[in-house]
Amino acid sequence: MDARPKTRRINRQRNTATPQVVRGGKQIVIPMTWQQYDEIWHDAERLRTFVAERARLAPKLFPPGFDQGYRLHGFGR
């Protein structure tokens, strides 16, 4: 019962950087109560108002240009 060790391949040759701009996933987690979540999550306008108010209150948490557009994730189709 000799099991093969689980190993992974290591690429020791560094490839040159890709010409494409690296897009890092950015996620902002806004704390809210379950009651707030239940009241506003299904109403896009109220949710955007809530997020805009949080961005106004804590601008350092949000990236530059945040007010020019964003997507809300976490609610599947």
Residue 27: Cβ-neighbour burial (10 angstroms; 0-12, 13-18, 19+): exposed
Looking at the domain assignment, is residue 50 inside a domain? yes
Domain assignment present for 76:
no
Residue 45 domain-assigned (yes or no): yes
Tell me how far the alpha carbon of residue 67 is from its chain's centroid.
16
Assigned domain for 47 exists: yes
Domain-located, residue 48: yes
Quote the domain boundaries for residue 54: 34-63
Whole-number Å distance between alpha carbons of 22 and 10: 22
The answer to whether position 10 is within a domain reads no
For 39-55, the pLDDT digits (tens) are 998 888 999 899 999 99
The answer to whether position 22 is within a domain reads: no
Give the residue ranges of DSSP H helices in 1-77.
34-40, 44-57
pLDDT score of 21: 59
**Residue 5 half-sphere exposure toward CB, CA atoms < 13 A:** 3
* Count: domains in the chain: 1
- Single pTM value for the model: 0.58
